[in-house]
Amino acid sequence: MRAKIAGRGPVGPTELRHLVMRVAAGDTGALGGVSAPSAVAPEVWDAVHAVYGASFEHPEIDPDMLVAAALRAGARVATIARAGGRIGFATSAPACLLGVHAALARLARTAGADVLEADDSGPIRVDGRSPRWIRWIDGVATVTDRRSLIAAEGPDAPSEWLFQIGRPALVVADGCFAEAAAEAGIEVVAASGLDRIALAVPATRPGRCLVIPVHTTRPPRHYRPLVELLEDGFGTPFGTEM
């Protein structure tokens, strides 16, 4: 709460209600490319509450939900890593979350994971802008113009990234990368705020999606508590972290 990665964030009651209604209606923009979850609005609200602890009256991330999900996420990554599994890491918000993913990628690699990387891939056109490339930094895929790291939206960058890495056992990502992996049927650990609730319903159904509810626009140093939780979870057998 002090780091403001949980609690109140940039999404207010009206905006959250609009997002819920758009997800329930199968709006492509709100779903981030993920197939419509075939859910009516009350089910979407239930999912948002189950994943984030949020409601219309209280559009905020419950810190207890963040803690529990981060511990589970760390434990799940550890399970895949110790089995030598192939794990893909990516961030659409490198100015905020690159350090979080890189820290977990280092843990995974040390534990035996095949952390997937490649040379620069591209050029691709993201949202019709000038050419971009996929570039891996410390095991984490990002989007770059070869001078700066750039926030990613839309399907182009994730499509190129998935083409490069094939089909991993697990993806740890956020934003469009997490949504694209989920759409492809890959197991996903996704960092996601209330401004991006497309994976809330899949996360509440039996399957292959675990959402870490966290505000995704904070300065990198504010995520130190999250990294510590992931590290704690990494040392706990999956399923016993609670």
In a domain, 22, yes or no: yes
In a domain, 177, yes or no: yes
Residue 82 neighbours by CB distance under 10 Å: 13
- Over residues 25-38, the pLDDT tens digits come to 887 777 776 666 66
The tally of domains found in the chain comes to 1
In a domain, 181, yes or no: yes
Which residues of the chain, if any, have pLDDT below 50?
242
In a domain, 40, yes or no: yes
In a domain, 240, yes or no: no
Write the CB contacts of 225 (distance below 8 Å, at least 6 apart in sequence).
3, 5
Residue-level pLDDT at 26: 83
In a domain, 201, yes or no: yes
Residue-level pLDDT at 205: 86
Domain that residue 65 falls in: 7-234
In a domain, 27, yes or no: yes
In a domain, 242, yes or no: no
Distance CA 132, CA 125 (A): 6
∠ CA 105-111-117, nearest 5°, is 40
- Over residues 159-199, the pLDDT tens digits come to 999 999 999 999 999 999 999 999 999 999 999 999 999 99
Token pair listed for 235: 């040392």
H or E segment and range at residue 237: none
Token pair listed for 109: 């690699």
- Over residues 120-131, the pLDDT tens digits come to 988 887 656 688
Residue-level pLDDT at 206: 82
Residue-level pLDDT at 242: 47
Residue-level pLDDT at 28: 74
